[in-house]
Amino acid sequence: MRGAAGRHCKLQRIAWLLVMLFSGLSWMLATGQDVPSKASSPPSAKIPSDRVKQYSDLAVEWMQEYLRIDTTNPPGNELRAAVFFKRILDKEGIENYVLEYAPGRADLWARVPHTNAQAKKPIILLNHMDVVTSDASHWRVPPFSGTIIGGAMYGRGAQDMKDEGLAQLLVMVMLKREKAALDRDVLFLAVSDEEAAGTGTDWMITHHRDLLENAEFLINEGGENLLENGKVKYVGVDVGEKSPLWLHVVAHGRPGHGSRPNPDSSPDRLVRALDRIIQYRTPLKVLPVVEEFMRDMAPYEEGERARQFRNIREAIRDKNFQEEVERDESLNYLLRNTITLTMLGGSEQTNVIPPEAWANLDARLLPGEDPKAFLESIRQLVNDPNVTVDPLNSEFRVANASTTDTALFNAIRQVAQHYFPDTPVVPRLTSGYTENQRYRPLGISAYGFSPYTATQQEGSTEHGNDERIRVEELRRGPRILYDVVMGVAGAR
């Protein structure tokens, strides 16, 4: 009997292993994932494959509908997008409010509540509904068509950031439909006017701070999961951002007829001043977050570059590396304050020399920089009493950052290891401003994290022409974000 029983138990164990293997492979085939080598199955693996497919189908359907809503800022008209969100949330039975704070402008708040008796502080899924302007004449398809070409969906906002807003919406729906056990509230917050003045977030914090529920964590736009040669090079999580200091340069000079040029004309003075500014190389500096990022990436680099990344403080003293930084846009912004010429203005007629000519500069300062000292350095560089340099905005927000020693960052690491085995998860300093800067002073750990991968070419379409996202990413991204949210909010 012992031999027969032993053989029976052994057969049971083999059968159990085969069932587990088949279940895992079925999930991978249904979701289009490679079998991970290290991490345990994520929360979404418990969702039946037919429902996983339904969520992926909804992601494509709803993204197309969302991209067709024109929320170009100015004027924004984000209320249209808020109504779109509300229709879906109402149908799903998810608590939500549309908060219109100006004609055509609104924020939307929604909540999937905790199920545990003892709740932790909430997590906020933050997104903005407005998008930047676009020139349809330079696009392959109309910017608000949501057209799919070659496996990619085109539309203004496909990278910034209707894609992530859509993923966050799907996560709320998945949490509700799957009756997820939660030990903290999951809040969805879609705001207006991020691309301009940030009035949506400012209004929300001023008038409805209570709806933020003293949250502990926040996931927002940002981050970068760079896809190179079919493999994710790194999962970058933004823990800090540079602060914008937009400058207005005005040159004053003697006006006159264009047929009689004079060296004291305002356009000539402006060009000379701008040339000095553009040629200026701000000092190279190494912040701790940048040092950590480069040290983490060193094992994935080769030769001299790997050595430089391992000791970036030493590398920046080398003139050859300094020249390399100048040529490499991905390094340059990390290691210095940057200045970019973006706008010019002068006469409205070709044959008229105007009394004034002007330009706008987009300066981005590293965390910890003194804006007044930076402004004074630019004025001294121009060194022309007939050229003024002044801030465009009355308020400068000193940059802040979040630590990586949190449950949310750890959840991102674990989920990334499942979907992208052996890929480094690294903290990043982003070149662009995000509204994380406004929420961290409230005591919230805020990160820029994207559940989507993108090639450098795809990522460059943000604020550019032919903005797009691959459909396969739309289908997978919400599931990755769901796993991250469950990793930090799922009841144990």
Q: How do the pLDDT tens digits run along the chain, 492 residues long?
A: 434 444 444 444 444 333 333 334 333 433 344 444 445 799 999 999 999 999 999 999 999 999 999 999 999 999 999 999 999 999 999 999 999 999 999 999 999 999 999 999 999 999 999 999 999 999 999 999 999 999 999 999 999 999 999 999 999 999 999 999 999 999 999 999 999 999 999 999 999 999 999 999 999 999 999 999 999 999 999 999 999 999 999 999 999 999 999 989 999 999 999 999 999 999 999 999 999 999 999 999 999 999 999 999 999 999 999 999 999 998 999 999 999 999 999 999 999 999 999 999 999 999 889 999 999 999 999 999 999 999 998 888 888 899 999 999 999 999 999 999 999 999 999 988 899 999 999 999 999 999 999 999 999 999 999 999 999 999 999 999 999 999 999 998
| Other beta carbons within 10 Å of 54 | 14
pLDDT at residue 9, as a whole number: 43
pLDDT at residue 309, as a whole number: 97
pLDDT at residue 18, as a whole number: 38
Q: Do residues 482 and 165 touch, judged by C-beta distance below 8 A?
A: no
- Decide: pTM greater than 0.75: yes
Total residues found in the chain within this entry: 492
Counting Cβ atoms within 10 Å, is residue 266 exposed (0-12), middle (13-18) or buried (19+)? buried
pLDDT at residue 398, as a whole number: 84
Helix axes 49-67, 471-489, angle to 10 degrees: 110
Tell me if residue 109 falls in helix, strand or coil: strand
The pLDDT tens digits of the residues spanning 58-70 come to 999 999 999 999 9
The pLDDT tens digits of the residues spanning 299-339 come to 999 999 999 999 999 999 999 999 999 999 989 999 999 99
* Contact partners, residue 269, CB within 8 Å, separation at least 6: 251, 252, 253, 357, 384, 386, 387
Relative to beta strand 256-257, strand 352-353 is antiparallel
pLDDT at residue 10, as a whole number: 45
User: In this prediction, what percent of the chain has a pLDDT beyond 70?
Assistant: 92
Counting Cβ atoms within 10 Å, is residue 76 exposed (0-12), middle (13-18) or buried (19+)? buried
Pure H helices in 287-406: 288-297, 303-310, 312-315, 319-327, 329-332, 371-382
pLDDT at residue 433, as a whole number: 86
pLDDT at residue 260, as a whole number: 94
pLDDT at residue 28, as a whole number: 41
